[in-house]
Structure 1
């Protein structure tokens, strides 16, 4: 069998990461088999070990990749609103605490989607390490957006705001189909935008 080019190998690696980031957010790390993941990436199961030594290694890389993808959405939000912090924050909160975000976990916030999985992983393992580093990065990226009156949010405020939004999304997903799901999203939006 002919070897793939370096470029093709890089493209295949990116496809595996993209597939894992999406599937792990949608179904959980333990809810996705390596063969299903590789099929989603358009590759054979046997190709997996050419890219990763273990599913745990892939899960950590996919977690970091998903957090980076998600963070890229928030980067530049202030600039797109001409520096209007209130308008940028309003857009962010309305998008985050929305039915669309609730209904698309595979494309949404990896912090909300993977928190439960990360909590069950090895205490000092690579998945938890990637998750914690990603949460730190998310907090840092959002502090300018979550501040008030043109100032960067203090770390404690940013942590509380992110905890409320992530918690609201997790609860809304867990109660989807019941009235309380929409109520949780609305309550988080109203609380975030009333201060």
Structure 2
């Protein structure tokens, strides 16, 4: 079998990072390299041509996930023609929706990866990307009247709990209650 061109190798690496980002948000960082590479359609051996270790991939995948979250925030802001508080409220509504609850693989990495990051040593790029991503999101959510950390904690906690009890009416109640708590005028 011939060597892969540099362009193809870069495309493969990008696919691995994107797929890992989705799988880690859905299943946690415990996803095996073999399962990841199978999902991408590449060989297990090819992984080590692209990455020094699984930890190196986790670093890139977490960074990628937070980059996606940043693009989502910016798209919402653009949809609301720069009206920040309207965009924030739209983001809160989308974040605390059944669709976001039920689609962790494409959702917020702060909620999806919290347990994995809590077990992290705090020394790697993944932990720095996670901490920075949480800070950026909280700063984006802040208003003159509401602290961004408080808003984000409410959102993350609600989504995490709603996912944990997703087959129960309690799940929708959690999302509804959190949306109401973060609505203007409360």
Q: TM-score under structure 2 normalisation?
A: 0.92
In 2, the alpha carbon distance for the partners of 1:193 and 1:108 equals 21
In 2, the alpha carbon distance for the partners of 1:118 and 1:5 equals 35
* Residue 181 (structure 1) aligned with residue 171 (structure 2): yes
- Equivalent position of 2:70 in the other structure: 71
- Equivalent position of 1:38 in the other structure: 37
1:52-71 aligned within 5 A: 52-71=51-70
More deviation in 178-187 or 86-95?
86-95
In 1, the alpha carbon distance for the partners of 2:83 and 2:129 equals 32
SS of match in other structure, 2:167: coil
In 2, the alpha carbon distance for the partners of 1:24 and 1:77 equals 24
- Equivalent position of 2:143 in the other structure: 147
- Equivalent position of 1:29 in the other structure: 29
In 1, the alpha carbon distance for the partners of 2:117 and 2:80 equals 34
Shift of 1:4: 1.4
SS of match in other structure, 1:139: helix
1:160-171 aligned within 5 A: 160-171=150-161
Cα deviation, 1:125-153, whole Å, max 9, x if unaligned, reads: 3332221122223334x24xx425xxxx7
In 1, the alpha carbon distance for the partners of 2:163 and 2:6 equals 41
Cα deviation, 1:47-96, whole Å, max 9, x if unaligned, reads: 00111111111111101101101210111423321333343233211110
1:91-106 aligned within 5 A: 91-106=90-105
Q: Would the aligned equivalents of 1:168 and 1:184 in 2 still touch at CA under 8 Å?
A: yes
SS of match in other structure, 1:194: coil
Structure 2, unaligned runs of 5 or more: none
In 2, the alpha carbon distance for the partners of 1:128 and 1:82 equals 33
Equivalenced residue count is 185
- Equivalent position of 1:85 in the other structure: 84
More deviation in 48-57 or 17-26?
48-57
In 2, the alpha carbon distance for the partners of 1:194 and 1:130 equals 30
Shift of 1:178: 1.3
SS of match in other structure, 1:193: coil
